[in-house]
Structure formats: structure tokens, C-alpha cells
Amino acid sequence: MSRYDYIIVGSGIAGLYTALLAKELGSVLVITKGSIDDCNTKHAQGGIAASVGKNDSADLHFQDTIAAGNGLSDEEAVRILVNEAPDRITDLVNLKVPFDTLEGSIALTIEAAHSVPRVLHAGGDATGEHIEVTLSKQAHLSKIQILEDCLATEIMIEKEAVKGIKTLDYRTASIDEFSCRFLILATGGAGQLFKFNTNSDVVTGDGVVLAFNTGAEIVDMEFFQFHPTALRLPGVTPFLISEAVRGEGGILRNVNGHRFMPDYTPEADLAPRDVVARSILYEMKKTGSDRVFIDATHLPPHITTTRFPHIYRFCLDHGLNITKGLIPVAPAAHYMIGGIKTDNWGETNIAGLFAVGETASTGVHGANRLASNSLIEALVFGRRIIEKTRERAKGKAPAASLGTEVHHSLSQRQVPKVIPTLNLSALQQLLWDKVGILRDQQNLTKAADTLAAWQKSLVPPTDRPSYELNNLVLTGRLVTEAALLRKESHGAHFRSDFPQSSPQWQHHIMFTR
């Protein structure tokens, strides 16, 4: 059995940045189920948030993050994020990430729920892609070993601590075991749960399931962020239309051309994502349409084409010139706010097991993620993981001790009289229809019963599609059961049968196996 100091599962910004730091301390293996470039990072158009502007401060960034988190953010974790963010931007500059500049300074834009411009971008709307390409180039130049087309299937535990990981090479069907001192899960979210999503095909809840099956704590799964504006064209996969388009002055209109957001909230087009997504749903229902439109035609064409070259080109390739015509959009699943519970150093309740990026729940996002806080969160807590393991190696840092929460187990469910045939399409339709932006007891119960029945019917997985489907069923159960338990509306979780938030729910819902 090959042994490494660090094994990192996942090759997005969280995995690669952490791997580049870890290689200074020991041997590193990165395991990724696709190629090193298959991840969600490259889909991050808007940018990365840090208080580097002259009218900004860590305190302002803190206040905006806490406000977006709707009372459920961990204040200490948020302080860490906002205080360390500028230094992590310096790291990216030193790694040669080509941030856009204006008159010699890094250009900043404003996005919804930020009080000042603090979002850095690269290549206009290609920020995630530029960071990903830069990091993967550095990883290839380094001594990091990268294992592609390999699926992590089970975490090995010995004496209540991580021992290593089992993998399936699905090209050869060989099963291998690798041992390590520290295992870091950086597998991304679970956007493929939903029929309409902005995520890469590889994002199937793998890290959450690996951790859950090992006994790690999973928290805040009811909070799933739906991006309000994904391109809605017949036969075209949903494509993210960045919030920054509205930040630059784009306006939402319904099918009749009416600017509707001021009807719902004083913040209008720059309200928090959950408010905009629900407002769009209501407006679509009101007008009997499956879409609304972003109007950017009043912006100078050179602003649109240079600030949003990816969006402009993608739309143009599908017959739409966004400098002259309206952009048809509708909400789509975007970001998993909950995940594997970690402390402020990225460690779980299992010694030696860490999580970072979208698969982790650091406590920063609370009930609703502030736009562009996800990429910076991956960097800040990735570095903290390496600092913690450096101290652990010296025998100075104790194992994680996480705060106590109300623990839940997945409940027994009634078997429905009619169980739909399980496949990816049926699962995505079920979650979209019954566990989507608007939720209620009846639909959530139907989804929970169906998912439990599907889970009972699963056979042991043997290849990548079957592992991914198994992982999505279990992750879907965690999301649905948490949404059923939280009988209130809070941030990204909205119950039409409990439309108000309730003080008695100012706590987190946690699952353990």
C-alpha cells in the first residue's frame, strides 16, 4: 500500500491550492475522478471577494457576510475569512492569476448584498477558469502526484482516526488502497441533484457521502443556494448569467417588459440571491412563462463585451446578441451551503479527516452564501488546514473538538405505493419539483419517502455512474430530511407552509450516521 503524508480528493481550487501548500511539508497525492480540469471552479464567473479596495474594510465585509447568512453564520469563522482574505489574494497574484486591472489597480465590481465594490475578477467573467488553469499548471510543474479517472470509494479508519482511502480506477476496474497521515476532502458540492443546475457533471455529493459513511458530522443541508439567473433556451444546458451583469446595471424584466424586482423588494435587482430567485418564480407563475429576462441593452456595448466576454460569446454562439437583445433566464441550483462540518482549521470530528471548499461547512455562509465568498473561503481554510497539520506533525495541535448541536439520524420512511424507476433523470426531476426553491410538508414528505425507497433498492455500486447515483440518493435524503425538519423559512430554505423565520430555529440541523 502506497503511503503519503497528504491525500487530497478533488482538483478544483480548494484541492489544488491546498495541495500546492502541502507539498512544502511532505508527499502529496491528488485523487480526481475525472481529469484535473473537471470541477466547478471554472464555472465561477463573478469573481472572488476580499476587502482590498480603498473604501472597503474587513469590518464591512464581515457585516455583509453576517447579514447574508441570516443569523446562522459562525461569527468567528467569518472574522477569520474577512481578515485573511486579502493575504490569500496576494497568494493568487504571486501564483500569477491574471486579475483584471483598471489604471494600474486591481479592478473591483459590486455584486448583490455587498455594500461596496469588492469582487475581483479575471478575464471579465472567467475568474474561476483563470484561477483553475493557473493552479493546475503549478500542480503539473510541482512534485505532486495526480491520479486521474479514479473514484474515492471509502475512507479507511483505524483507532478512530484516518488511515487512508480506497479507490476505484474505473478505466481498469482495479481497486486500490492508499494510506496517509492527513486526508482532505475537496470534492465540491451536489448540484447534479437538481434538473436545472449550473454545475459541472462531476458534482454529485461524493465528499459528503464519504464523510457521512465514516461517521463525520453533516450540517445545514437544507440550505441549497439557487442562482436566480441561468440562461433558459430550448435544448441548451443551463449556463450561468453572472450576478455581476446586474451589478453592472442589468435589469430584470418579465415577458411583458415590466421591470418587476422593485415590486418585491427595495433592493430591487441587487437583493440577495434567495429573494431574487423566489421573486423570479412568482413572476414566472404570474405571467404564465418559464422565464424572465435580463436587459443589458442600455449598457455601452463595449462594457458588456469586455466585462462579460464568456457570457457574450456563449449567447452569440446560440444566436443571441446580448448587447441588442434580452437574455432569457430562470433560476437553477448553484451552490451547496451545508456539508461536512469542520472547525476553524478545516478538521472534522474524525482525527486526520479535513474538508475544504464547497463540500465543507465552515460556518461562514450560514443560511445564505454572500456572492463570491466561496472561492475565497476555499483559499482561507485550505491554508488553515496546512497550518494545523504542520502543528499536528510537531505534536502541538490537539485534534478537533467541534461544538455540540442537535444530532439527527435519517428516519425510517413509509414505502410509497408507486415507486418511480430510479435513474439520474428521475432523481433530478423529483428534487427539482419537490425540494426546490419553494418547499412544503406534502412535497418534502413525498420526496423523502421516494428517496428512502430508492436507497433500499440500491445494489452495491461497481462503476462511476452507479457510485454517483448512490451518492446523489443519499445526499438527496440529507437535503430533504433537513428541509422537512426545519419548519420555518430561513435564508436559502423557504417553506411556503412556514413562510416566516422563527427564533426557536436559530440552530443548526446535523446528521450523523
Q: Quick one: CA torsion of 6, 9, 15, 18, rounded to 10 degrees? A: -10
Active site residue 273: yes
Considering only residues 50 and 41, tell me which one the structure prediction assigns the higher pLDDT.
Answer: 50
Q: Tell me how far CA of residue 270 lies from CA of 52, 76, 235, 275, 511, in angstroms.
A: 21, 27, 29, 10, 34
CATH architecture of 409-511: Up-down Bundle (1.20)
Residue 455 has pLDDT above 80, yes or no: yes
Identical topology for domains 229-333 and 409-511: no
Residue 275 has pLDDT above 60, yes or no: yes
Query: Would you place residue 414 in the very low, low, confident or very high pLDDT band (cuts 50, 70, 90)?
Result: confident
Q: What are the pLDDT digits (tens) for 214-248?
A: 999 999 999 999 999 999 999 999 999 998 899 89
Query: Would you place residue 398 in the very low, low, confident or very high pLDDT band (cuts 50, 70, 90)?
Result: low
CA gap 267, 246 in Å, rounded: 12
**3-class DSSP state for residue 136?**
helix
14-512-202 Cα angle (round to 5): 35
Instruction: Supply the pLDDT for residue 273.
Output: 85
Instruction: Supply the pLDDT for residue 397.
Output: 57
Out of 273, 307, 369, 439, which one is annotated catalytic?
273
Instruction: Supply the pLDDT for residue 111.
Output: 86
Q: In what order do the strands lie in the sheet with 292-295?
A: 224-231, 327-336, 292-295, 251-253
Exposed, middle or buried by CB within 10 Å (0-12, 13-18, 19+), for 65? buried
CATH architecture of 229-333: Alpha-Beta Complex (3.90)
Considering only residues 407 and 511, tell me which one the structure prediction assigns the higher pLDDT.
Answer: 511
CB 46 within 8 A of CB 242: yes
Instruction: Supply the pLDDT for residue 107.
Output: 93
**3-class DSSP state for residue 391?**
helix
CA gap 167, 150 in Å, rounded: 6
Exposed, middle or buried by CB within 10 Å (0-12, 13-18, 19+), for 104? exposed
Q: What are the pLDDT digits (tens) for 154-173?
A: 999 999 999 999 999 988 99
Q: Tell me 415's DSSP state.
A: P
CA gap 175, 167 in Å, rounded: 6
HEC string for 28-66: EEEECCCCCCCCCHHHCCCCEECCCCCCCCHHHHHHHHH
Domain positions in the chain are 229-333, 409-511
Q: What are the pLDDT digits (tens) for 290-308?
A: 999 999 999 999 999 999 9
Backbone angles phi, psi at 498, to 5 degrees: -135, 70
Percent of the chain at pLDDT above 90? 84
Query: Would you place residue 149 in the very low, low, confident or very high pLDDT band (cuts 50, 70, 90)?
Result: very high
460-465-470 Cα angle (round to 5): 45
10: alpha, beta or left? (left if phi > 0; alpha if psi -120 to 50): left
Q: What are the pLDDT digits (tens) for 68-97?
A: 999 999 999 999 999 999 999 999 999 999
Q: What are the pLDDT digits (tens) for 181-211?
A: 999 999 999 999 999 999 999 999 999 999 9
CA gap 492, 503 in Å, rounded: 17
Query: Would you place residue 399 in the very low, low, confident or very high pLDDT band (cuts 50, 70, 90)?
Result: low
Query: Would you place residue 1 in the very low, low, confident or very high pLDDT band (cuts 50, 70, 90)?
Result: confident
